[in-house]
Amino acid sequence: MGTDLEGITVIAVEQAVAAPLATCRLADAGARVIKVERSDGDFARHYDNFVNGQSAYFVWLNRGKESICLDIKVPADQRLLERMIAKADVFVQNLRPGLLASIGLGGAELQKRYPRLIVCEITGFGESGPRAHLKAYDLIVQAEAGLCAITGTASDPARVGVSVCDIAAGERAHAAILQALLARHSTGIGRRILVSLFDSIADWMNVPILQYLYGQRVAMRAGVNHPTLAPYGAYICGDGAKVILSVQNEREWTAFCELFLRMPEVSKDERFRDNLARVRNRVVLDELINSMCADLTEAEAHARLEASGIAYGRLNGLEGAAMHPHLRFMDVKTARGNVHVIAPAAMSESESPIRAVPAVDQHGTAIRAEFAED
């Protein structure tokens, strides 16, 4: 949150998660973000009504923006949109590929007409290729990229519980826009940025895909355990609580055996001589650790792990997560009162202003007047 981007104007023809996340970050930094919506609003406004009758998704991603409704099929609104873009620093859109190009507002054309403009286009699978035409919702991309194949239990693949492909693309777009703004400060020239959900999450898939291509030929699903490190996962204490613990290297493994298990001889066992051996013999190792944890309460296990210098944590549900002592909140204004949202990960030390979530077309009249034809 801050004022670093004051004086920067962003026009966003956006919906759902990926583009709104990128522009939310820009608004947090002080940019003026004008959100262009359909007559019934961004469809994320209607995903749920859990936050004082409003969508949790929309409240999360649209603070600090202005809203105007345009019908891009109508020539007058097309001309208005171009007048807005002509005076902007950044244009962001995540409509289906080719839609804006079909009315003369594609990224390549805009960047040629307005050389200082930074254009960021977010798609599911890019502008070309065999999957480019697909509607690329988050689960589809998770499945296509192989993320579901490595998520879940041994018997069943699963979706990651948040819209991780959208989030990855939005964060990538945000970083690329900031990089382009910095470059334009030196060169005076904008650029066209292409970001896809698939490319964004595929980058995150490097480790499992490299492991598959260069040795480990079977994708592993291990629930809350780590597929390629052991011991690293959830273990059941005598009071029924689950403790998460992680051993990252051989020094920690020795300390774990000596100080937590209190069986130093286990560190010399050939079945557990290094991480790869421990992964191969995970079932036996997990039985040994669970038998130890069964004699301890959660608090006792935590105390012993902390004394051992081993990383540990709690397997929280949403109740525990929502009350976590490290969770930071901030207020945003909405039409139905202030809402506490989790604060961005990166924040300056200065006090942040409370930003408002716009109603549909809340600023439409003023924006139309501001960008009226001469």
Question: Mean pLDDT per segment of 10 residues, for the chain of length 374 residues?
Answer: 89 97 96 96 93 94 97 95 97 93 94 96 91 86 93 90 96 98 96 96 94 76 86 94 95 95 94 93 94 94 94 92 91 91 77 82 96 86
What secondary structure letter does DSSP report for 256?
Answer: I
Q: Which residue from 298, 300, 296, 269 is spatially nearest to 285, judged by alpha carbons? A: 269
Distance CA 277, CA 271 (A): 6
166: annotated active-site residue: yes
Is the separation of the CB atoms in 83 and 55 below 8 Å? no
| Structural domains of the chain, ranges and CATH numbers in brackets | 9-205+326-370 (3.40.50.10540), 232-314 (3.30.1540.10)
Q: Which of 166, 239, 274, 286 is catalytic?
A: 166
Q: What is the pLDDT of residue 334?
A: 92
Is the separation of the CB atoms in 245 and 314 below 8 Å? no
Which residue type is seen at 371? F
Q: Which residue from 53, 69, 70 is spatially nearest to 334, judged by alpha carbons? A: 53
Distance CA 110, CA 224 (A): 47
Written as six digits, the tokens of 177 are 């826009």
Pairing relationship of beta strands 192-196 and 118-123 according to DSSP bridges:
parallel
